[in-house]
Amino acid sequence: MSSVERKNGWQLAEQAGRIRPGPIQRLLRCACWYADAVRDGLRAYGVEYLGADGVPVLDETGFLKKGRASAGVQRQ
């Protein structure tokens, strides 16, 4: 969900103000992610800002892809 075009260790580290990608890569490689806790936290955040009856909509159809060999490269 960042504005970085390519999501690799170097670009994420630069955006976070780090000189090297090591700490970011270590976080992504070694951190324990609890999917249920993340889901519950995101739901609580959404309820706080949208209300209990709010409906968030995620739409990625406008994502511009690059290349000619990838499936779905042409803009919808």
Summarised one tens digit per residue, pLDDT across range 6-17 is 778 888 888 888
Max avg pLDDT among 2-11, 28-37, 52-61: 28-37
Q: Is the confidence at residue 43, as pLDDT, over 80? A: yes
**Cα dihedral 6, 9, 12, 17 in deg (nearest 10):** -140
In which domain, by residue range, is 17 found?
9-50
Q: Is the confidence at residue 39, as pLDDT, over 70? A: yes
Q: In this structure, is residue 66 part of a structural domain?
A: no
Number of domains forming the structure of the chain: 1
Q: In whole angstroms, what is the distance from residue 44 CA to residue 48 CA?
A: 6
Q: In this structure, is residue 36 part of a structural domain?
A: yes
